[in-house]
Amino acid sequence: MADTAKKQRVDQAGSGVPGISVQEAMPTYYAKLFPTQHMVKWLAYGNDSKHAQADSHFFNRREFCFTLQGDIFVRYQAFKDGAALQEAIMRRCPDKIDIGPVYSANPMDRHKFGAAFHPVERELVFDIDLTDYDDVRTCGSGGHICAKCWPLMSVAVKIIDKGLREEFGFKHILWVYSGRRGIHCWVCDPSARQLTDEQRSAVASWFAVYKGHEEGKARVALLGGTMHPAVERAAGILRSAWEQTLLPAQRLLEDGPQCEALLRYLPEEGLVETVRKKWTEASRSRNAGNTDVNVVRWRALEEAVAERVREERSKKGGLNYKVLGPLERCVDEIIMAHAYPRLDMEVSKKMNHLLKAPFCVHPKTGKVCVPLDPKAVDAFDPVDGVPTVTSLLGELAAAKEAAEGGKPNPEAWRDTAMADAVSVFESCLLDGLAASNKEELTGRTRVAVAVGQMNVDF
């Protein structure tokens, strides 16, 4: 029996097809809009070419998992090429498509190989979900997402993307909006795809500054008096977003439980009382309408902490680092505890972990899982700026009607918002991968020549 959520009517802003459900729209979406060939071009990594060193069996060793109506999971699906993948998608019309690793053999033949069947490569992936920020969000919880909490995802993209590029040297990184309340990251460099489970865990742990909650506070790893340069860089990104966007949007310093929770990060009870007094003074003197109360109170807190640090440093008899350290760290600790990326670590640790494919349609929202440009992530609108399956079908119908002679255009998707999503996919991943794939195949050729398997003049 169909899930009632999948039968909900999705007709955002009047742009969809009135009266059609997400489930009813999926056959047309897969037939006319889902960019199967772009997906194959990505996941084949040049092995679909006629290059002498291309592995013609590479793509059909990739696992796909279909989630069918009724939450039926069909794992270990594999396909010879894009045509076979498209045919299976059309025939089974999955609610969701997950992508797994490339195995040592065709996943559908796994029972023939026993213990010899194992994953050999897979993109390094990250998953960040807004539900993990429910202790921070005041605008909503659970599946809620809006312009007020999107900045939490925006800063996560900036921090993780910059870290992957500058600390690890990765270049081919794809960010995808999950269709509801989160984001996914796919790192596609050859060196990333070949990481072992232990190495994946190590990379993910590098970003795991956030350590969960304990005694009503989020724990963050800010040990010592000097932060690691990568953590300091992340803190710099967060400091700006914190005051300009996050504090006003989430109203964390207005009277209430969020305000009290934030004060727990101050290391001294006397400092807490000082901050409370400054807040009272600041509220009285604030020129209403000019500065948000959350920002006013935050600046008062920073001032109180700075005064206490100066007081401690001026004491005779040497510095007490047991007191000074927590004082100097507490402001950044507050920011990091509330806004540093909160990763689902288990997704990143294992090569054989499944992750939802880009361009899937979320069954509860009808939204397409569209790629994100990390350089424009602040401007991304997860509420009204994401195409739905029904809005796309409406655009298809309009394009067909406008076509000369009423003849259907085989590439009518280019007249819909899907064209923009595919363009981001190309510019942020596929275009850069083309040169990398060619370089990888050339490297295989050089190895073959070196071991005497080929005679080639370079």
Catalytic residues: 63, 127, 129
Question: Whose CA is closest to 337, among 283, 266, 288, 416?
Answer: 266
Cα–Cα distance list, 58 to 38, 74, 103, 132, 235 (Å): 16, 21, 9, 36, 41
Radius of gyration of the CA atoms of the chain, in A: 26
| Alpha helices in 167-224, H assignment, sequence order | 190-193, 197-206
- 100 SS3 class: strand
Give the whole-angstrom CA distance, residue 129 versus residue 134: 10
d(CA 208, CA 349): 12
Whole-angstrom Cα distance, residue 355 to residue 129? 13
Q: What are the beta bridge partners of residue 217?
A: 214
Q: What are phi and psi of 75, to 5 degrees?
A: -90, 175
Q: 396 near 412, Cβ under 8 Å?
A: yes
What are the tokens at 339?
């806004």
Give the CA dihedral 146, 341, 421, 23, nearest 10 degrees: -60
